[in-house]
Amino acid sequence: MSSEARFLFLGCSTSVGVPVIGCDCAVCTSGDPRNARTRSSAYLAGPFGNILIDSGPDLHQQALRENLRTIDAVIYTHGHVDHVAGFDELRAFCWQRDSPLPLYGSAQTHDILRQMFPWAFVPEGTASGYVKADLREFSEPFEINGLKIIPIEVIHGKVLTHGFRFEWQGRAIAYFPDVKAIPEEGMKLLTNLDILIIDALRPEPHQTHLSIAEAQEIVEILKPKQTYFTHMSHELDWATTDQALPAHIHLAYDGLELSF
Ligand SMILES: [Zn+2]
Ligand SMILES: [Zn+2]
Ligand SMILES: [Zn+2]
């Protein structure tokens, strides 16, 4: 069996999606499929299993597009709507399972899930078709079948938010879709990365997300081998923005797959 793992971008848009509803800008009306972005989410597949990161509002469409068949666990970055609203789409994956689906997240994210989808968390009388959740709170690094996962707290507005460092057979990849700043302790955990995937919303600064220039400053400090920008707005045209970046920094796009 191959020991190779893959990281698949299910979506790489900011919360409203691209195209933006009703927008006639050059990016939203572009014919380049790399300018069509669904809400940020990712899928990690390897000998450790199939892991979904966040269940955003476009999960149904993303799962069909990528022919996703199984999910063994979900890992949540935070409880913002663009990362949890597709929770109900996990039903189809739960129907194939004998045991409840492990949902890893902070206590705050779990509270948000319970508030938004109360019917799935009623112990008795839960209808057989609902999501069967096994809430697993993380505060420390944990493992899923040999895949090491280090949750790293970041600054992203008021909600408690994590990014993750994943380690698999000597390779390290980090995923930080929603971040304005990474505190010092977190930065120390992000050295020697093969791949960094990080928020780069738009050229202009934003209160809760990194701009392109701010994301580049973090790249300069961490020096990962390769970097991919994600959680992007309609202000970023894929081709012109990607071309203007240094050779080791790329823009992600929906459906892009990386091996690690
Ligand atoms: Zn987001
Ligand atoms: Zn637009
Ligand atoms: Zn967010």
Question: pLDDT for 146-159, tens place per residue?
Answer: 999 999 999 999 99
What pLDDT shows up at residue 2? 59
What's the 67 CA to ligand 3 centre distance in angstroms?
26
| pTM for this predicted structure | 0.97
* Centroid of ligand 2 to alpha carbon of 5 (angstroms): 34
6-254 classified as CATH 3.60.15.10: yes
Q: Is 101 helix (H, G, I), strand (E, B) or coil?
A: strand
HSE-CB at 195 with a 13 A cutoff on CA atoms is 21
* Contact criterion met (CB below 8 Å) for 80 and 154: no
- Tell how far the Cα of 203 is from the centroid of ligand 3, in angstroms: 18
Nearest to 210 by CA among 233, 187, 244: 233
Ligand nearest to the CA of 177: 1
Contact call for residues 68 and 47 (beta carbons, < 8 A)? no
> Do the beta carbons of residue 226 and residue 195 sit within 8 Å?
yes
Q: What is the three-class DSSP state of 240?
A: helix
Q: Does the pLDDT at position 125 exceed 60? A: no
Each domain of the chain, given as residue ranges in start order, spans 6-254
- pLDDT greater than 90 at residue 127: no
Q: Is the pLDDT of residue 98 over 60?
A: yes
CA distance 73 to 8: 15
Q: Measured in angstroms, how far is the CA atom of residue 162 from the centroid of ligand 1?
A: 12
Average pLDDT over residues 41-60: 98
Ligand number, closest to the Cα atom of 199: 1
Distance 2 CA to ligand 3 centre (A): 34
Q: Which amino acid is at 168?
A: W
Cis peptide preceding 19, ω within 30 of 0: yes
- Nearest ligand for residue 23 CA: 2
Nearest ligand to the C-alpha of residue 35? 2
Query: How high is the pLDDT of residue 122?
Result: 84
- For residue 231, report the distance from its CA to the centre of ligand 1, in Å: 7
Q: How far is the CA of 1 from the centre of ligand 1 (A)?
A: 35
Ligand 2 centroid to Cα of residue 237, in Å, is: 10
Spatial contact of 55 and 87, defined as CB atoms under 8 Å apart: yes
Band (pLDDT 50/70/90 cuts) for residue 129 is confident
Q: Model confidence at 243, in pLDDT bands (50, 70, 90)? A: very high
Average pLDDT score over residue span 124-143: 87
Calpha distance 184→154 (Å, rounded) = 10
